[in-house]
Amino acid sequence: MDTRLLHTFTALARTGSFTAAAAELHLAQSTVTVHIRTLERELGTRLFDRLPAGTLLTEYGRVMLERAEDVLDAVARLKADGEGEVRGPVAVGAPESLCSTRVPGVIAALRTSHPEMDVRLYAAGTAECVEGLRSGRLDLALLLEEDADFGDVTTEPITREPLALVCAPGHPLAARTHAVTWTELAAENFFLLEQGCSYSDELERRLLAVPGSRPRPTRFGSVDAARSCVAAGLGLTLLPLTTVEEHVRQGRLVQVPGPRFADVPVRLARHRRRWTGPGAQAFTQELVRQSTG
């Protein structure tokens, strides 16, 4: 069986759309259609139900998907053993804060040590990263999570990320020399990362637990947007220290003395069943080296 048909099949199963699968594989949509029809003819059964909103795997298609992924994993292993060097793409998902701080140094080092390797970085939250690992769109992911039990996605802690509560220099809390209380914080405006960000969600829960509190959090999908609103004097934010320390040094933000926020673990995540190729192994080794060195 032509493995190109299996690549097309898994891409269509992942995207649910002939158009999206064609774009991902850099093929004409008609070629994707031919590949799927050829595979269905060879197997003697329908793999997808064609619906107005896209495609849906049939019962046999779901069984076939697991087997196809096993075959493609085995082929990738054989190719890697034959090549004897690290090359090709590695898809990595990570929160925006890590994309702009920890990951660039890893990519820069790998470009020197493994110039034939191509790290493709995608900014994504925990839910999107886990879905990407399950669907095969991602080879690895970094998660900022205290607890991470996802069944088929396994995680291991790599390092910890300190958090910083910050405001603008002109904010009334900027001049405080003693710790701000939860009651005081509950009266402030907050600019936090979107739902699903573990430390932002935990901060909001603790603010809501203050008797009579009415916290006013605004959620963003971007570190830069939250940081900019706070720098403009509109309120406070809680972000990884690495994303604000330069702004603090420049005097654009000030750390607020407040309640203790536990450092957030940085976890490396991968799919439990899938093979970790040489490129993903090289990324992992360099990430660990830079995080513990």
Collapsing DSSP to helix, strand or coil, 274 comes out as coil
Distance of CA 54 to the CA centre of its chain: 25
Report CA Rg, the chain. 23
Instruction: Write down the domain spans for the chain.
Output: 3-83, 88-160+265-292, 163-262
CA distance 193 to 183: 22
Contact 153, 271 (CB under 8 A): yes
**H or E element that contains 229:** helix 223-231
| pLDDT tens, position by position, 191-228 | 998 878 889 999 999 999 999 887 788 998 889 999 99
CA distance 12 to 57: 9
Class of domain 163-262: alpha beta
Q: What is the CATH number of domain 3-83?
A: 1.10.10.10
| pLDDT tens, position by position, 235-263 | 999 999 999 999 999 999 999 998 989 99
Contact 102, 266 (CB under 8 A): yes
pLDDT for res 80: 59
| pLDDT tens, position by position, 42-97 | 999 999 998 888 899 999 998 898 888 878 777 766 665 555 566 678 999 999 88
CATH of 88-160+265-292, one of 3.40.1260.10, 2.60.40.10, 3.90.340.10, 3.40.190.10: 3.40.190.10
pTM of the predicted structure, to 2 decimals: 0.72
